[in-house]
Amino acid sequence: MAAGVDGGIVEPALPDLFAQSSLHILRPQSLDRLSTMLNPRKLLTTVEGLLRDYRGLAEAVGLSVGDLRRVEAAANPTREVISVWCRRGGEASVADLNAALAAIDRHDVAADCSSVLAEDCRAARSRGLDTVEKATRAVAAAGGDALTLPDLTAAAEVRPLPRYDAIILHSDDAEDETFAWHLADRLEKVGKKVSVTIPEVTRP
């Protein structure tokens, strides 16, 4: 981030924010929003012949035939495309995702998801994961064990990941979260160290 005239911190413009943010930092609610719009199959193609759904996204980002088979077999094909892309694409950014959406003429998806993607990028920056390279190195250092942005931050700073007796993962549904905290409270009463969170890292 750059310093403002008054000495404050100025956030990068949205295109720069997306270019500096790794796909790994996309949170479940953002992936669900993308999936809702891209999972339904479309009949019309782009001028270049790309399908305007998850299949076109997979082709636009260069997934292999074997990858495509796994995508088709997945319960949530869009999330699988992004997961495989994270694994195969190395330092893929949120800007790369927007470019792929533009390639399949899904500007509507990019516009609809822009605010939640920006929230993800800001959350990652607040944890020090302010470049694609940092997030990518952190994911590699965590060895697949990172579930949250604090996990990635610890890995990026070469610190041990936080240790708990139990980690309770929940969705962003209010009822699910309430039950998760109820369960955590019961565990803490018997002396257990508990973390309650939603998954915040797109895992390969």
Please report the DSSP string for 183-198 in residue order: HHHHHHHTT--EEEE-
Query: What confidence score (pLDDT) does residue 40 get?
Result: 96
105 Cβ contact list (under 8 Å, min separation 6): 46, 50, 52
Q: Alpha-carbon torsion 18, 22, 28, 33, what sign?
A: positive
As beta bridge partners, residue 45 has 51
Instruction: Give the Cα separation of 20 and 11 in Å (integer).
Output: 12
CATH 1.10.357.10 fits 2-156, yes or no: no
CA distances from 41 to 70, 103, 177 (A): 17, 16, 32
Half-sphere exposure of residue 119: CA atoms within 13 angstroms, side-chain side: 9
Tokens of 128: 């020090």
Q: Would you state the pLDDT for residue 192?
A: 82
Q: Supply the pTM of this predicted model.
A: 0.69
Length of the chain in residues, anyone? 204
pLDDT along the chain (204 residues), means of 10: 47 85 83 94 95 96 90 91 79 92 96 94 82 68 58 58 73 76 83 69 51
Provide CB contacts within 8 A for 69, sequence distance 6+: none
What is the phi/psi pair of residue 70, to 5°? -65, -40
